[in-house]
Amino acid sequence: MWTLLMGRMAKSQSVWKWQSLWKWESVWKLQRALLTVGVLMAAVLSARTALHRQAAIARRRIGKPLGEDAIDADRIWQRSLEGTPIELLLLGDSIAAGLGAHRRKDTLGGRLAKALASQMQRPVRLTTAAVVGSESSQLGVQLDGLADGYVADVAVIIVGGNDITHRIPVTISAGHLAGALERLHIRGTRVVVGTCPDLGALRPVPQPLRILGSRLSRQLAAEQAAVARRAGAHAVSLRHTVGQFFISEPDEMFSLDRFHPSALGYRRTADALLPAVATAVAERQAAVEAATHEVTSPAVTEQNESA
């Protein structure tokens, strides 16, 4: 009996021992998990603080030596050419507005209008609704500000840089672009989207913020291209067509603030956009001619039948 009792007590102590060990092991694992979470949170907060500090450094380096108003280049370009002027509309941010150019012929709109007129052998009326500092959310406001009844033959949209610097989610930025494309499509305007430039080319922006900006701007550019294709618009990758020039020739391609394009930067950007813009104008002309033919055909048929 005594032996049986001692055996049960030993067994009970053994169970209690294992239960205690399991309990302390669970507590230790929980403490280790909490410590890991704490370290990760501290790292995230530290990284965020560092990025905010680097953003402040970049803003101080860049400043606003160019002001916030681009040169007004709106006019009829190559007026001496025959034919009805092609209506060219520019929407978006400071690049579309031409900030950094010192002469109106050196703005993106001026460069595009002059080159398009020469290629199409028709005058071009430039209308710039782009506003310095705009995000994608302002595209709708820019369209609202156009004159009643105004319909462009082709619109060029360049936007996205400010979305990245203001940390706007890519999906939201792309949604605003899609809304603008839909409105332009309803008007019958053909559209060319110059996708978000690679912010990794901005040397005043310190690392690792520049790497992060490059990655986010590439993601936005890819989404903008996809949105444009779905809407039937033309997408031109500014990173692929002119981005390397801004990296290899920064002194020539950037203006005084080392953030916006110089006259040469705008010229090369316009050269990259021109083929798509000319194609879009040709598509618009074909659509107008087809619509005119559909309207006049019944009348011609009825006249022939009467004869």
Residues annotated as part of the active site: 94, 257, 260
Pair of tokens at residue 296:
């006049």
Backbone angles phi, psi at 153, to 5 degrees: -75, -40
Candidates 106, 145, 123; CA nearest to 281 is 123
Q: For 42-109, what is the HEC assignment?
A: HHHHHHHHHHHHHHHHHHHHHCCCCCCCCCCCCCEECCCCCCCCEEEEEEECHHHHCCCCCCHHHCHH
Alpha-carbon span 302 to 307, nearest angstrom: 9
Separation of alpha carbons 229 and 179, rounded Å: 14
